[in-house]
Amino acid sequence: MQKALRPLLRPDGADSYSKLGYMIDGAHSGPTLLIPVPRSQVSQVADAFRQIPRLGDIRGRVIMLNIGADKTQDDWLRNQIGPVDETLHLATDEPDGLGPRAARQTMTAILRKATELGMISGRGVTPMPQTSQSCTTPRSD
């Protein structure tokens, strides 16, 4: 199976694109999870997802956007990602979310939320503690 992770590129003009983040399209239908990630971290998190052998077997879609790229009134972006079921806002301990520790924490939080939403089976992913610093925003229709 081909890897489901791909960059989310916005056309800016003649052969010019802005990378807004990454999208993981699962092979099965399911929820859409949106995660604003610090620009300094998004590539590290995407690289960690590339290491998952059966990434395309997830149910639904995971969108990791550079913080600031998720403008709510952006029709182009909404057309690319479709309706969002959950948004996972992450708090970081490190300034601007830099460093491998922050990237690991982000990856772990994303996998926990994906497990909670039924996107993955979650074997080996510990449940999110009740006193978590992250918060989720359910989809508003």
Q: Is residue 129 part of a domain?
A: no
Q: pLDDT 10s per residue in the chain (141 long)? A: 455 888 888 877 777 777 888 999 888 889 999 998 888 788 888 888 888 888 878 899 999 988 766 554 477 788 888 899 999 988 655 554 567 777 788 888 898 999 999 998 866 565 555 544 445 555 554
The tally of domains found in the chain comes to 1
Residues 6+ apart with CB under 8 A from 20: 8, 9, 10, 65, 66, 69, 77
CA distance 106 to 70: 18
At residue 85, what are phi and psi to the nearest 5 degrees?
Answer: -85, -40
Q: Is residue 139 part of a domain?
A: no
Q: Is residue 43 part of a domain?
A: yes
Q: Is residue 34 part of a domain?
A: yes
Q: Is residue 17 part of a domain?
A: yes
Q: What is the pTM of this model?
A: 0.76
Q: Is residue 141 part of a domain?
A: no
- Residues of the domain holding 9: 5-123
Q: Is residue 128 part of a domain?
A: no
Q: Is residue 16 part of a domain?
A: yes
